Amino acid sequence: MDTRQNENELHLLGSSTQYKQDYAPEVLEAFTNKHQDNDYWVQFNCPEFTSLCPITGQPDFATIHIDYIPDIKMVESKSLKLYLFSFRNHGAFHEDCVNIIMKDLIRLMDPKYIEITGIFTPRGGISIYPYCNYGRPGTKYEELAEKRLFNHKIQ
């Protein structure tokens, strides 16, 4: 595959970084997967995720784990970083954050399989670790999603 094709798909990589002040799914960019004939895992870990409690406005901190099996498109990492940083001033509950992230990435890439885990730091003596996943309907990835969801445990 011609690497110039992938380079033309990306606009943020190599340019100066501008951080959004609120939730910004429009910054997400994708490029063409060069190994569409393989099933393989891609994992991103964001240990400095921050959002705001929608009730109190207090900051919530988390490590966000994103795992997916790509198909045709893959998320570009700088755009993902800017997207995740855009939650810093956004009010959303922990469970909302992981589901919003997953749905935005599904819209962007249409992966075969994806799962998102949020490991949020305790507030008020309680830790919350929301998990969500998706497998393409009617495929073995849908079966994988169901199996992983019902057998899910935080390590």
Active site positions, annotated: 53, 60
Burial of 63-99, coded b for 16+ CB within 10 Å and e otherwise, reads: ebbbbbbbbebbbbebbbbbbbbbbbbbbbbbeebbb
Six token digits for residue 56: 């109190």
DSSP 80-102: HHHHHHGGGG-B--HHHHHHHHH
- Residue 129 · residue 60 · CB < 8 Å: no
Six token digits for residue 11: 């606009």
Helices (H), the chain: 3-9, 77-85, 94-109, 140-150
